[in-house]
Amino acid sequence: MKLKIYYNNIIFLLFSFFLGNITAQVGIGTTTPEGMLDIESTSSGFVFPKVSLTSRASESPVTNPNGGGIVEGTVVYNTNTTQTGSNDVYPGIYVWDGNEWIAQYIKEDNQKFEQSTLEFRVPESAGFMNVPGLANGSSFTPKYSGTYRIEANFNFGAGELNPPGTPNSVRMATQEGYFRFNFDGSNYDIYTHAYSINNQLIGTGTGYEAFRHDSSLILYENLRAGVTYSFGLRVDVIVDNEFQTEAYAGIDLPCTVEFIYLEE
């Protein structure tokens, strides 16, 4: 009788030992797991559960098999893209923090548009003229919904100045105008000007022109993924007294318009 009892006790202890090891640590590809779950492979990866999320703010379609809400730290790979403009999701790994899905990847979207022809000549009183490569009707389509920084950079230079009316003298004058940036139907006017000099004291008279004057405009706009937004850059010269030649837009460097994604 005692031998049978001892035998049963040994079987129970061995079973408890192995069961304890199984529930404590699981190794896949290794016989010596170093954590609750230890996966080792030289050629395969771990595939997260793939789901089609509908919103960062919604647990659906993920559920808790024990009932109630899903727990913090739940990880999935989302395969869906939404373009509602609010709480949008995009393909990638997400973690539930108890309130919303948090993307586990960096969202980057940056696009720069440049003037295609440098030293674009702008006559006085011709009205607003399209800057080449940035004409009205240009467009940008954001990859993500959220806040974008829109930075428009302009530069302007004056043309060749007439000689002064008297010998051995110096004349300096300015050409003035406006850059007009249009985004999604709204106009933003930026004043600009540049100087030129004609110095009759140097040689038989020397002219200096195309001194670059830089200016910029920065906007912060909430954009919606997948929606095409129109923009354009134009320039107009309103003061051109005493000049032989027209003003310039884009001296040495092109005028540019850049869109940069910042945050949800």
The pLDDT of residue 3 is 43
Residue at 248 is within a domain: yes
Residue at 14 is within a domain: no
What is the number of domains present in the chain? 1
- CATH number of residue 211's parent domain: 2.60.120
Closest Cα partner for 259 from 144, 119, 142?
142
Residue at 53 is within a domain: no
CA dist., res. 238 & res. 178, Å (int): 8
The tens digit of pLDDT for each residue in 185-195 reads: 999 999 999 99
CA distances from 135 to 2, 49, 116, 222, 255 (A): 98, 47, 10, 23, 11
Contacts of 120 (CB under 8 A, 6+ apart): 131, 132, 235, 248, 249, 250
Which pTM does this prediction carry? 0.81
Residue at 155 is within a domain: yes
User: By the 8 A CB rule, do 212 and 247 touch?
Assistant: no
Residue at 1 is within a domain: no
Domain that holds residue 120: 110-263
Residue at 93 is within a domain: no
Residues of the chain with pLDDT under 70: 1-24
Give the type of residue at 65. P
Residue at 49 is within a domain: no
| Phi, psi of 166, rounded to the nearest 5 degrees | -120, 150
User: By the 8 A CB rule, do 151 and 163 touch?
Assistant: no
Contacts of 38 (CB under 8 A, 6+ apart): 25, 26, 27, 28, 30, 32
The pLDDT of residue 222 is 98
The tens digit of pLDDT for each residue in 238-254 reads: 999 899 999 999 999 99
Closest Cα partner for 135 from 113, 111, 112, 109?
113
Residue at 104 is within a domain: no
